[in-house]
Amino acid sequence: MALNLKKWFNIREGLQMLTDVDSASDRYALLQRNIRILMIVLTIVPLSMMALINYHQYQSSLREEIITPETLLANKTRHSFEFFLKERQSLIKSISYFYSYDQLSDQKTLNHILFTLKKEFGGFVDLGLINGADGTQLCYAGPYNLLGKNYADQGWFQEAMLKGTYISDVFMGYRKFPHIAIAVQRLEQSGRSWIVRTTIDTTMFDNLIAAMGLDAESDAFILNKDGILQTDSRLYGKVLEHCPLTIPRGGHATYVEERKDPSGRDIFLTYTHFTYPEYTLVIVKPESTVLKTWYALKSDLFFVFLASSILIVYVVFRLTGIMVNRIREADQNRELAFRELQHHHKLSSIGRLAAGVAHEINNPLAIINEKAGLIKDLIEYTTDFKQKEKFSSLIAAILQSVSRCRTITHRLLGFAKRMEVEIEKLDLNELLEEVLGFLEKEALYRNIDIALELAKDLPRIDSDRGQLQQVFLNILNNAMAAVEDEGKISITTWEKDADTIAVSIRDNGCGMSDETLRHIFEPFFTTKREHGTGLGLSITYGIVKKLGGDIEVMSKEHEGTTFNVFLPKKPNA
């Protein structure tokens, strides 16, 4: 029974530990989830509202945006047509008033006028003088044989005599190409009247329509009052064919309608009526062309909304993950800091112990050195000792080993001194060579080339020997870790200025990224994972600053790293 209770308590304790771990994980997960929900709601909801508002506003103003450009284009083109016709009509009227009946009756004068019109204005085909009394053509200049032709029974003649002017619909004529006729009546005070009539080809009509700049799927053309095409249409026939579209008559405004054409296509139809003659300008655009911007906007709006939402969710998840991880890392680092502090105290204790051990070892070493020296003297003064040469070499080896042990213990004692600053005169070159003594075995084993470029006559500085040893040992340890076997480390010293001495330690190792460079002097930051504490360079930076100096690092990945340490010749006051 007691055994069962003990087992039960062990199980309960284990479950409690698991529960603590799970509750900590759940706490961070809950924090992360709440932050994500809050940030997504605060960003996606306003974005959705803005997208909906923009969608409806654009949709409500779409018709106006479609109608306005179409209306402006139709009005501008109608004005161009009317101006062209009125200009030609005014030109013929000016000829009828500037020249007398007798002058216009002269064939040479009429030929000269037609030649001038063709040269200066273009498009004129012929020019004729018609008697207003009987409708007979009295004089004619042009390519046809129309002299003496009688027009008394034709409608245009009656209209010209009644209204004073006439502009015809498009007709083919004798040469089977479309043109229009313009006639102007001249009435003298004596009661005599005559009509000046000209024929103009419709090339300018095509030019005016081409100037509208319509796309390949759109169409524009002129109709007369009977719905007959006065220009060619891309979609609905050739000139003088009947247009299948029904255009309402009346009104002088510009109209835009949505309808289906006889082929079943959805079109936007824009039309405007001329004041005179009774022409109608018609513009036809497929609905897909007109609404292309709307379709594009809807696609773009949806894409922007979707991309923005995805980006927001991604950024929220990334940021919250980073934030919560930073919080978790801060908690872990705080806990790690306590552990590192304990570890630091242990290292300090070990350092003091090492100093004590080194001091204690020096005493036996001194005894061994004295005894070996005594033996050496005795052998030298003994003349009949047969093994004298052999024993002398053995004693020399003993004395050499004792000397080496003394050097090591002296260095250990110097390095293990307290961390309080103790200023003394130092030869920086000598100190660097002393620090290299700690690393010479590893460098020899790994075949690492350590090049010394130490400035001669380098001024001595006032600083702390033990702490500078720790600074350069930390930097050199990092350099040794960074280079591969048979790598190279170079150490350079120089006098930077009158107050500063500089030391450069450069290696050709793996180098560091920009991100690593930004954090190398932060406590507990390390790239050595399980093998580093992240305190070496942080302590190094603190020591250099405490001694009044500065330290800078330059590094490129796969190229190497350079540490420059700048030390004052005299300590700061």
Same-domain status, 239 and 350: no
Same-domain status, 327 and 394: yes
Give the residue from 160, 175, 183 showing the smallest Cα distance to 88.
183
The CATH number linked to 426 is: 3.30.565.10
CA atoms within 13 Å, Cβ hemisphere of 285: 23
Same-domain status, 198 and 123: yes
pLDDT at 13: 46
Same-domain status, 158 and 262: yes
Return d(Cα 549, Cα 502) in angstroms, integer: 10
Give the residue from 152, 102, 154, 153 showing the smallest Cα distance to 129.
102
In a domain, 66, yes or no: yes
Last residue of a domain, one of 416, 441, 462: 416
Last residue of a domain, one of 235, 270, 290: 290
In a domain, 188, yes or no: yes
Same-domain status, 411 and 455: no
How far is C-alpha 271 from the chain's CA centre? 46
HEC string of 139-178 equals EEECCCCCCCCECCCCHHHHHHHHHCEEECCCECCCCCCC
In a domain, 151, yes or no: yes
Same-domain status, 273 and 322: no
Last residue of a domain, one of 255, 290, 325: 290
pTM: 0.46
In a domain, 573, yes or no: no
Same-domain status, 358 and 279: no
Return d(Cα 32, Cα 21) in angstroms, integer: 17
Same-domain status, 155 and 134: yes
Same-domain status, 458 and 514: yes
Give the residue from 237, 128, 226 showing the smallest Cα distance to 181.
128
In a domain, 3, yes or no: no
Same-domain status, 153 and 212: yes
Q: Are residues 159 and 165 in contact, defined by beta-carbon separation less than 8 angstroms?
A: no
CA atoms within 13 Å, Cβ hemisphere of 35: 17
Residue range(s) defining the domain that contains residue 315: 295-416
The CATH number linked to 185 is: 3.30.450.20
One digit per residue, the tens of pLDDT, for the chain of length 573 reads: 444 444 444 444 444 444 444 566 777 888 888 888 888 888 888 878 887 887 777 766 666 777 788 889 999 999 999 999 999 999 999 999 999 999 999 999 999 999 999 998 888 999 999 998 899 999 999 988 889 899 999 989 999 999 999 999 998 876 678 999 999 999 888 888 999 999 999 888 999 999 998 888 899 999 999 999 999 999 999 999 999 999 988 877 899 888 888 888 888 899 999 988 889 999 998 887 766 666 666 777 778 888 888 888 888 888 888 888 888 888 777 776 766 565 455 555 555 666 677 777 877 888 888 877 778 777 777 777 777 777 778 888 888 888 777 766 765 665 555 445 678 899 999 999 988 888 888 888 889 999 999 998 899 999 888 888 888 988 998 898 889 988 999 999 999 888 899 999 999 988 888 888 887 877 666 776 555 555 677 778 878 888 889 999 999 888 899 999 999 988 875
How far is C-alpha 523 from the chain's CA centre? 36
| DSSP helix/strand/coil, 361 | helix
Same-domain status, 379 and 505: no
In a domain, 19, yes or no: no
In a domain, 173, yes or no: yes
Q: Are residues 524 and 533 in contact, defined by beta-carbon separation less than 8 angstroms?
A: yes
Strands 560-568 and 179-187: unpaired
- The structural domain count of the chain equals 3
In a domain, 83, yes or no: yes
pLDDT at 8: 44
Tokens of 467: 């702490």
Same-domain status, 383 and 476: no
pLDDT at 32: 83
Type and span of the H or E element at 313? helix 292-381
Return d(Cα 79, Cα 48) in angstroms, integer: 46
pLDDT at 295: 64
Tokens of 25: 């994980």
